[in-house]
C-alpha cells in the first residue's frame, strides 16, 4: 500500500476540484478527520496495517463530494475502488476502506472498531471548542446546497441530530460526549 503517494494525490485533487461552496466539507474537513484518526491510531495503539487502512478511509471518506452532494459516500466508494489499485491496495484492503467510507453516512452505523473510530473522528467537532464556527460553516453549506436559510430551523435540526447521535469509542464518550451534552443544552435554550 503506497499511502504517502495516495495522500498527496487525493489532497491535491480535493484542493483543486472541490466546490468552494463546500464551506464545511472542504479539504480542511478531510485534513481534520485525518489528523484525528492519526491521533486515535496512536491512542489505541493500532498496528501498521490498521493505521494505514484508517488513514486511507479518512483521506477518502468525502471524495464523493468531487462529483455529488447527495449519496457522496457511495460515490466515494466508487472512487476508492477505481484508484486504490493504482496505489497497490489489495481487494481486501479496498473492501475495508469502502466500509470505513460508508460508515460515515448519517445515521452512522459502524460495524467494526475501525469504523467506530472514523465515525467519531468525522464528527469530533461536536464535542470540541470549535463547535460553533464549524457548525456555522455547515449552515452556510446547507444554504448553498439544500436551500436551508432559516436559522431557527437549523438549530432545531442540530438539536434533533445531537439527540440521535452517539459517540462510539470509549475515548470520545469520555472526552467529547460531555462537551457535546453542554452544547445540546445551549442549543435547546436557543430554540426555545
61-94: per-residue pLDDT in tens? 999 999 999 999 999 999 999 999 999 999 999 9
- Give me the domain span that covers residue 187: 3-191
Residue 192 has pLDDT above 90, yes or no: no
Rounded to the nearest angstrom, the gap between the alpha carbon of residue 45 and the centroid of all alpha carbons in its chain is: 21
Nearest to 177, CA basis, from 189, 165, 186: 165
Q: pTM above the 0.75 mark?
A: yes
Per-residue confidence band for 12, with pLDDT thresholds at 50, 70 and 90:
very high
Q: What is the Cα–Cα distance from 125 to 22, expressed in whole angstroms?
A: 17
Q: CA-CA distances (angstroms) from residue 2 to 5, 9, 21? A: 6, 11, 31
Q: What percent of the chain has pLDDT over 70?
A: 100
Per-residue confidence band for 122, with pLDDT thresholds at 50, 70 and 90:
very high
Per-residue confidence band for 59, with pLDDT thresholds at 50, 70 and 90:
very high
Residue 142 has pLDDT above 90, yes or no: yes
Mean pLDDT of the chain: 97
Q: How many CA atoms, within 13 angstroms, populate the side-chain half-sphere of residue 77?
A: 14
List the helix and strand counts (H, then E) for the chain.
10, 0
The answer to whether the beta carbons of residues 124 and 180 sit under 8 Å apart is no
Q: CA-CA distances (angstroms) from residue 115 to 37, 99, 112? A: 11, 7, 5
What domain count does the chain have? Answer: 1
The answer to whether the beta carbons of residues 103 and 119 sit under 8 Å apart is yes
For position 165, which CATH number holds? Answer: 1.10.3210.10
Amino acid at each position: 500500500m503506497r499511502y504517502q503517494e495516495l495522500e498527496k494525490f487525493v489532497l491535491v485533487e480535493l484542493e483543486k476540484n472541490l466546490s468552494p461552496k463546500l464551506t464545511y466539507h472542504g479539504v480542511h474537513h478531510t485534513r481534520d478527520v485525518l489528523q484525528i484518526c492519526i491521533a486515535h491510531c496512536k491512542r489505541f495503539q493500532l498496528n501498521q496495517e490498521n493505521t494505514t487502512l484508517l488513514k486511507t478511509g479518512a483521506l477518502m471518506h468525502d471524495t464523493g463530494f468531487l462529483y455529488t452532494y447527495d449519496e457522496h459516500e457511495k460515490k466515494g466508494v466508487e472512487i476508492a475502488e477505481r484508484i486504490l489499485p493504482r496505489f497497490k491496495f489489495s481487494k481486501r484492503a479496498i473492501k475495508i476502506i469502502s466500509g470505513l467510507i460508508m460508515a460515515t453516512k448519517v445515521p452512522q452505523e459502524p460495524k467494526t472498531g475501525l469504523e467506530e473510530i472514523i465515525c467519531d473522528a468525522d464528527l469530533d467537532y461536536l464535542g470540541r471548542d470549535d463547535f460553533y464556527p464549524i457548525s456555522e460553516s455547515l449552515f452556510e453549506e446547507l444554504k448553498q446546497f439544500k436551500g436551508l436559510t432559516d436559522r431557527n430551523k437549523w438549530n432545531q435540526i442540530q438539536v434533533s441530530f445531537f439527540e440521535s447521535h452517539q459517540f462510539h469509542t470509549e475515548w470520545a464518550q469520555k472526552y467529547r460526549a460531555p462537551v457535546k451534552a453542554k452544547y445540546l443544552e445551549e442549543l435547546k435554550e436557543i430554540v426555545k
